[in-house]
Structure 1
Amino acid sequence: MYSFKDDYSEGAHPRILQALVESNFEQEDGYGRDQFTQKAINFLKERIGRANVDVHLLAGGTQTNLTAISAFLRPHEAAIAASTGHILGHETGAIEATGHKILSIETEDGKLTPSHVKAALDGHPDEHMVKPKLVYISNSTEIGTIYSKSELQQLHQFCRENNLILYMDGARLGSALCSEENDLTLSDLPALVDAFYIGGTKNGALIGEALVICCDSLKVEFRYHIKQKGGLLAKGRLLGIQFLELFRDNLFFDLATHANKMAEMLREEMNNANISFLTQSPSNQLFPILPNALITKLQSKYSFHIWEKVDADHSAIRLVTSWATKEDEVLAFIEEFKKGSKNDQAYL
């Protein structure tokens, strides 16, 4: 059974595995002080186009989010997130466990706008309530949508005017930046957000996220926070080697482009069949709305998440392609989709 459930089912790109093997017996300092991590950080700064950012490598997205957000906020301060935000629904209360409330905002497309943030500020006017301080966004979002440069500029401007921290979860940043609808570059981000991370786990690495802190006031003693949260790996080289390989050349972006290409093949076929989508996602996550009977047929050969019940006879599923998704498997899925649709036109 082939999986379209997520973009981390496979291990790592062969180049990364080879680099880990080749460096295996080299002795290096621990806790990110090794030569590989330092080179990776320098490569990232060059790609970002900013020498004055701080870069920290951590193992996973939840660890990165809870370490960063808890470090950036004072005890009485809260984060604002879309109701679909990863920190709100898929991190087991990790942020709340650090003592910070998350204010949930309903949105149609998973993205926050200045008006959304203003509503949260207006609803928390004084010291009898938590103080909204950090705006959490994801690019791409949990439902596959991406931010345009204009949208991010407007949000950034509002946050500056209201003394708010703008933080971007980049677990799938590669897919967002390589989307055909994207007009942002990696080098745009330091001027538009206070901190963000570049996701490796979902884009070819075994593990690893690269947190980039752009705002000087958020940089202070950050390694203490990483250590306290259990994120300062003794064998930090394992993260450094992977990001060094991903950003030595264009590998990171090539892998994300492949994931998007595989998603586009699925998207095009479903558009041709006049299938509706729960969200208009231009990234590597698709949310087609299919008849339940067709979903059952597809599940006999493929695994994927049933995302949301739409009505008595239809549900939205989530199909995710990855850096390692095989084109032959995508074509085979398309054939099964066509066969199921053709056998019973009532499906569509």
Structure 2
Amino acid sequence: MIRFTNDYSEGCHPSILEAMAATNTEGNPGYSTDPHSARAHDLIRQAIGRPDADVHLLVGGTQTNATAIAAFLRPYEAAIAAASGHICVHETGAIEATGHKCIACPAVDGKLTPDAIRTAVASHPDEHMVKPKLVYISQTTEIGTVYSLAEVEALRAVCDELGLWLYLDGARLASGLAAGGPSLADLGRLCDAFYIGGTKNGALFGEALVILNPALKPDFRYNIKQRGGMLAKGWLLGIQFEQLFQEGRYVALAEHANQMALKLKAGIAALGYPFFCDSITNQQFPIFPDAVVEALKPDFGFEFSSKPDADHTCIRLVTSWATPEANVDAFLKALAALTV
């Protein structure tokens, strides 16, 4: 079985395993107070160009989103997100479970727009409703599209206009960086907080939350502990980000994933198949006749995205830092054999 199911089917980049083995018995203080975590924090601050940034290492994306959003909002405040946003549809109500409503807005190519934000705020005018306070976006989006620098700047402007926090979910941030999206320095200038995803880009597990707005920084470790996110063996997170942020590795791994996805995209398009959207990153959404999908299923793993009509299915193909080019070639060869 060749899997294009997700970008976390493999373990981790060899440099991380080697570093973990080399440091296995050295003895470290717990709860991310160790030298490896401290160096990882410094490497991330350097990459962002913000020596004043607070960096916190957590285990997973949903945990990071729930911990951050709950900490950043007052009890009566809410998050604004695209209706397709991860916190709206793929986190089992984690944000709502902390007492905060997610206001779902229509998106354009998976992306939230300034007009959608203004509409959401205008439709919650008084204390009889939740008060919108945080704008949630993800880079890349749930359909693999990328916010441009101009688009993030426009979101920052509307957040400043309306007094909102701008928070970016970076589960696949590396793919966005590799595709020419806003740089880490840009995000450090434009976001109040964002996280740098490791789980989907070569780490065993882990996300690095970066808090930039001074109003959001105080006592954040208390929130991590209360939400069950403070890993006793925190140096295992530190070692991973220490490795990812050396030798340009973080973006290089995503460049490979994107290249493999774009080869898939080109080959599928050459056979005449359409796509749900124009993704330039490691998630692709081709639309095939149902018979083709059924014929591919025994040999290839993928997720089902939607049914555009009764006879066709949109599937999701995801590549990773570890996807062999031979796997891409095998898929395209099998697809060509099924194409008439």
* Matches of 1:234 and 1:57, distance apart in 2: 12
The structural deviation recorded for 1:183 is: 4.2
The corresponding residue for 2:52 is: 52
The corresponding residue for 1:265 is: 263
- Within a 5 Å distance, the mapping from 1:303-322 to structure 2 comes to 303-322=301-320
* Matches of 2:127 and 2:109, distance apart in 1: 31
TM-superposition CA deviations, 1:246-275 (whole Å, max 9, x none)? 102211111100000100100111221232
> 1:2 aligned to 2:2?
yes
- Within a 5 Å distance, the mapping from 1:181-260 to structure 2 comes to 182-260=180-258
TM-superposition CA deviations, 1:105-149 (whole Å, max 9, x none)? 122311111100001011101000000100000000011111000
The residue type paired with residue 157 of structure 2 is Q
The structural deviation recorded for 1:2 is: 1.1
- Within a 5 Å distance, the mapping from 1:13-24 to structure 2 comes to 13-24=13-24
The corresponding residue for 2:326 is: 328
The structural deviation recorded for 1:186 is: 1.1
* Matches of 1:109 and 1:125, distance apart in 2: 28
Name the % identity.
55
* Matches of 1:160 and 1:214, distance apart in 2: 15
TM-superposition CA deviations, 1:137-195 (whole Å, max 9, x none)? 0000011111000000011011011110000000000001101xx24211111111110
Contact 2:178 2:255 survives alignment (8 Å): yes
- Within a 5 Å distance, the mapping from 1:48-197 to structure 2 comes to 48-179=48-179, 182-197=180-195
With normalisation by structure 2, the TM-score equals: 0.99
* Matches of 1:270 and 1:302, distance apart in 2: 15
With normalisation by structure 1, the TM-score equals: 0.97
The corresponding residue for 1:36 is: 36
The structural deviation recorded for 1:225 is: 0.3
Gaps of 5+ in 2: none
The structural deviation recorded for 1:59 is: 0.3
* Matches of 1:64 and 1:185, distance apart in 2: 21
Gaps of 5+ in 1: none
The structural deviation recorded for 1:326 is: 0.9
- RMSD value over aligned CA atoms? 0.7
* Matches of 1:249 and 1:186, distance apart in 2: 16
SS in 2 for 1:52: coil
Q: Which runs of 4+ in 1 moved over 3 A?
A: none
* Matches of 2:4 and 2:60, distance apart in 1: 21
The corresponding residue for 1:282 is: 280
The residue type paired with residue 310 of structure 1 is P
* Matches of 2:260 and 2:267, distance apart in 1: 11
SS in 2 for 1:243: helix
SS in 2 for 1:248: coil
The residue type paired with residue 24 of structure 1 is N
The alignment of Structure 1 onto Structure 2 pairs a total of residues equal to: 340
Contact 2:146 2:181 survives alignment (8 Å): no
The structural deviation recorded for 1:33 is: 0.5
Contact 2:287 2:315 survives alignment (8 Å): yes
SS in 2 for 1:310: strand
TM-superposition CA deviations, 1:73-116 (whole Å, max 9, x none)? 00000001101100111111100000000001122311111100
* Matches of 1:123 and 1:315, distance apart in 2: 36
The residue type paired with residue 78 of structure 1 is A
